[in-house]
Structure 1
Amino acid sequence: MVFDEPVRSVKQASSVSGVSESDIVKTVVVRGARGDYAVVVLGSCRVSLEKLGLALKDESLRLARAREVLEVTGYESGGVPPVCLDERVRTVIDKRVLERDYVVGGGGSTHALLKLPVSLLLQFNSNPIVADVSEC
């Protein structure tokens, strides 16, 4: 799905795509001592750095700044897709995401969204970590 205007929030994504907010995902980039992570959570939830730190055994985690998101992923913050990222960026998928049949997430720019079955979310990520890493 491609749009003339940028889509910058879960609420906007839901409105322009016609998909429930509960089926929107966001890809949040997190940095830590052990590397960089792309954390995929439901749009209605937020990443819990505490839970994520326990799952990854890394207590030095922090959210990446906008310029770091671009450096790490090659995508602008707000447009990071939930699939097919550089293998140096480890993907973590919140377990709640797997309860959905399909999800809509960043499509590579703030003007695009990508709708895909959750099965492809697992298939198109290299060895993703699935864990409880969000607060809803």
Structure 2
Amino acid sequence: MAAVKTNVMRVLEQHKITYAAHEYEHGKEAVDGASVAKMLGQDPAHVFKTLVARGKSGGFHVFVIPVEKELDLKKAAKAAGEKAVELVHVKELLSLTGYVRGGCSPVGMKKAFPTVFDESVNTIPTVMVSAGKIGYQIECSPADLVALVRASTAPITMD
């Protein structure tokens, strides 16, 4: 168990969701997800990154995908019910979500944005996402996480 308790961990505890906290070495900069998976000895297909996009409508959407995959903007737009989506600039992330790049979690954002997980989340025993702070990850049941953030699932990564 990590000595640090992040807001994400508090939210999971409030909702009585069982999770495991993981900590990894890091500098001041964000570490790419594939490196995080490797440092934690995890299958990269079980470690997901959180991306925030702006839809053509002006609304924001959250997409959560395996760290080694790339978001397919066309599929993401379709899943979000938008004509198009584009990722928000990293400078907007903190004011929008309350999180910095590399520490962005689908749990506990400043505002609950419509969220879509890649459908592969339905095929894995546990999923790992950022705990809301660089250097910390949480691992829990995909069904619990998807239900908590009221997410949908869809094929949103590039083939």
Question: TM-score, normalization: structure 1?
Answer: 0.88
Q: Which residue of 2 aligns with 1:31?
A: 54
State whether structure 2 residue 94 is matched by structure 1 residue 76.
no
Q: Report the Cα offset of residue 50 of structure 1.
A: 0.4
Contact kept? 1:34, 1:58, Cα under 8 Å: no
Q: Say if 1:95 and 1:131, in contact at 8 Å, map to a contact too.
A: yes
In the other structure, the counterpart of 1:98 is: 122
Give the residue type in structure 2 aligned to 1:49: L
**For residue 38 of structure 1, what is the amino acid of its counterpart?**
V
CA deviations 1:82-134 (Å, max 9, x no partner) are 32334441111111121111111111111211111112212211x31221111
* Residue 18, structure 1, aligned to residue 41, structure 2: yes
1:2 aligns with 2:26: no
Aligned equivalent of 1:41, options 65, 75, 82: 65
Q: Which runs of 5+ in 2 are unaligned?
A: 1-21
Contact conserved, 1:22 with 1:44, CA < 8 A, in 2?
A: yes
Report the CA distance between 1:57 and its aligned residue.
2.7
What is the CA RMSD across the aligned residues, in angstroms?
1.7
SS at match of 1:52: helix
Give 5+ residue unaligned stretches, structure 1: none
- CA offsets 1:57-78 (integer angstroms, 9 cap, x no match): 3123110111211111100011
SS at match of 2:75: helix
Structure 1 residue ranges (4+ consecutive) displaced by more than 6 angstroms after TM superposition: none
Letter in 2 for 1:31: R
Aligned to 1:124: 148
Alignment match of 1:60 (pick from 75, 84, 92): 84
Alpha-carbon separation, structure 2, partners of 1:39 and 1:95 = 11
Give the Cα–Cα distance (whole angstroms) in 1 for the partners of residues 34 and 153 of structure 2: 25
State the distance in 2 between where 1:75 and 1:3 align: 18
Larger radius of gyration: 2
Which one is further off, 108-117 or 82-91?
82-91
Take 1:122 and 1:105, find their aligned partners in 2: how far apart are those partners?
Answer: 12
Q: What TM-score do the two structures reach when normalised by structure 2?
A: 0.76
Is residue 61–residue 80 contact of structure 2 (8 Å, CA) maintained in 1? no
